[in-house]
Structure 1
């Protein structure tokens, strides 16, 4: 594999920092030309830019341009650079403007539906999109499909979808019977709905397997993350939601599976380490040697699988209903959930009320018909966020 240029969006987040680690280990394979981040840790962003030799840095906070330039100057001086030639972009659309410049690969590790603009810009630039921002696909599936310029332009980075992409290489799409998404079950696996009513934010943030940002961690606790991943799998692989099954696998070693028409099931297994799917997203279809440790077959081990309790964890059912309802219902699902998670983390909404409130907002949404436009998506999101806050105020 020849050297690939990379734009890394969301570089200071969980996915971004692990991607930086992968790239730093393999300097002969990847060259970072630009980075973006929200702006909460300008010093870390500046250190990344200097260490990786990025030509441009984008920050979402419009007031952060000056402070970021100062941090870049400081980081450059610490690295012994006499001249710091990094361009700074600032503002809500800074990541989109950076993605539009293109590279061999754009890794979108931004959290939330704000990643939709950069996703579309990366695709329209002709770049291969390594997609860790599932929300942009969930809320704008038709828009993302329309923006693609060639088959295989989107490479999934979520561990589940990376596993499916790998397993699909074992047969043709016409031979696929169903996809099986695995879920760790989160910190509350085995609890009934009544046992979840007093869950605190600290408890929800204590994921038993993965280290992730707060929004994704809470989504994993409610299993909303798995609902979003079900929609993402449906859109990425063209498989009806009725043919996608979610099973609970607490060990998080089998990352997902594909069942073929002859009864064979192909699983991808590895210890839980996001560097593996990140590296595959950057290098697809090639593999980066020794990017993550393999399973240790010298030790006794056991893997278990169990059905999902959809009465206690109703988010996956909501995701199926959203897909069936209208093209804008998935955007409403995601937007309402983002507002509910923020309210929960602030201590103003109960844990079970997250999914309950999302369900009510979904039920009230009339949906869009005809070809989906960006305005439709943005309007549906704006309505969902406003309606969620109206429901918060009435509690």
Structure 2
């Protein structure tokens, strides 16, 4: 039986992971869960899966959760120390890293140091600290299995192939809700408009990132580290149907692709059971029912955030961490109605312009640049 820790159990990836676990109680046991402030859902998860340890955002929420629970209670932790306690829980074999944002870096790094295999859904861990994390994975000899549908597709398309034969990786993107919106109308996009993703059901932050295509930019940087592939060999194609999740092109001109309906349970299950495949309940793909599959190159005028991600990767060192932090602040400001949709990319660019890349050698270095970028972005937006 494989024992799991789920970091971010009340988010969309965490919920889907527990759906997979629920269908295979004989294969998986949940030993630890972490959440932010969604105590009601966390309470239901505790009652259903009986983890021995849970962690929430802060001490007040920990006390509230303690009062909500009846019968046998897990250990209740909070804050960053709680995340680390969950990530390093002695019983756990695999840590599902599903926290959104740079907050996932510290517990994921702690889990790797503790010798845990990682099912990685937190792309920011590699965006901000790619070289550090991949060196740590090698040092500890742990497995790192991608959960994002795009990276899972690349992972699957590389199976059984020689890496020296890879010409390029092609990540697909839906294009989000504004793919065909006149450019001038982007200035008037509402929060509700931006949260209306055409294909995927995700949390608010990731949905906004999909609308700006920063999400794809983060995935480009993640792919650079996951698959040890330079940026010039990582392309992005807009594929509105979200049926082909990504592709690998080989030196002989052949392209390997992974197809499936948009449902995260499939890549989650593959990460948890690799190299096995198990039934997931995901609806089979009926190719005869498809009207067509289309692809196009992204327009940087419409999606400047994607270009910023490539720029950050080219600059290297601390710049991706700075870009990511600026994006997190800008998206939060947009969701609070403090800036417009197009201001997200503009504010990221301004923060990047104010930063000279610096070398990073430790997770602590990354956190310091993350903190600087958050402060600078707030200052530039007049939010300080």
TM-score w.r.t. length of structure 1: 0.93
Q: Distance in 2 between matches of 1:7 and 1:121?
A: 13
Q: How does 1:162-311 map to 2 (within 5 A)?
A: 162-311=152-301
Give CA deviations for 1:226-285 in whole Å, capped at 9, x if unaligned: 000000000100000110000000000100000011100000000000011111111122
Q: Of 13, 17, 20, which residue of structure 2 is paired with 1:19?
A: 17
Q: Distance in 2 between matches of 1:86 and 1:32?
A: 12
Q: How does 1:39-50 map to 2 (within 5 A)?
A: 40-50=37-47
The match for 2:84 is: 96
- Matching of residue 381 in structure 1 with residue 370 in structure 2: yes
Q: Distance in 2 between matches of 1:255 and 1:170?
A: 19
Q: Distance in 2 between matches of 1:324 and 1:185?
A: 23
Shift of 1:287: 1.1
The match for 1:79 is: none
Secondary structure in 1 matching 2:326:
helix
Give CA deviations for 1:97-151 in whole Å, capped at 9, x if unaligned: 2102252110011111000011101111111100101112111112212321456
Query: How has the CA–CA distance of structure 1 residues 151 and 309 changed in structure 2, closer, same or farther, with 3 Å as cutoff?
Result: farther
Q: Can you give the 5+ residue segments of structure 2 that lack an aligned partner in the other structure?
A: none
Shift of 1:37: 0.5
Q: Distance in 1 between matches of 2:342 and 2:87?
A: 37
Shift of 1:66: 1.9
The match for 1:135 is: 124
Conserved? CA contact 1:9–1:95, under 8 Å: yes
Shift of 1:195: 2.4
Shift of 1:91: 2.3
Q: Distance in 1 between matches of 2:214 and 2:230?
A: 19
Please say which of residues 372-381 and 341-350 is displaced more in the overlay.
Answer: 372-381
Shift of 1:363: 1.5
Shift of 1:72: 2.2
- Matching of residue 318 in structure 1 with residue 316 in structure 2: no
Q: Distance in 2 between matches of 1:150 and 1:246?
A: 32
Secondary structure in 2 matching 1:107:
strand
Give CA deviations for 1:268-327 in whole Å, capped at 9, x if unaligned: 000000011111111122112244122013425311111111121111211111112131
- Aligned residues, how many? 382
Q: CA RMSD in A?
A: 1.6
The match for 1:63 is: 60
Shift of 1:43: 2.1
Conserved? CA contact 2:32–2:89, under 8 Å: no
Q: Can you give the 5+ residue segments of structure 1 that lack an aligned partner in the other structure?
A: 74-82
Q: Distance in 2 between matches of 1:66 and 1:389?
A: 31
Please say which of residues 191-200 and 158-167 is displaced more in the overlay.
Answer: 191-200
Q: Distance in 2 between matches of 1:290 and 1:93?
A: 34
Q: Of 25, 28, 36, which residue of structure 2 is paired with 1:30?
A: 28
The match for 2:105 is: 116
Misfit runs of 4+, over 4 Å = none
Conserved? CA contact 2:113–2:140, under 8 Å: no
Q: Distance in 2 between matches of 1:328 and 1:192?
A: 35
Secondary structure in 2 matching 1:372:
coil
Shift of 1:194: 2.1
Q: Distance in 2 between matches of 1:97 and 1:300?
A: 47
TM-score w.r.t. length of structure 2: 0.96
Conserved? CA contact 2:265–2:280, under 8 Å: no
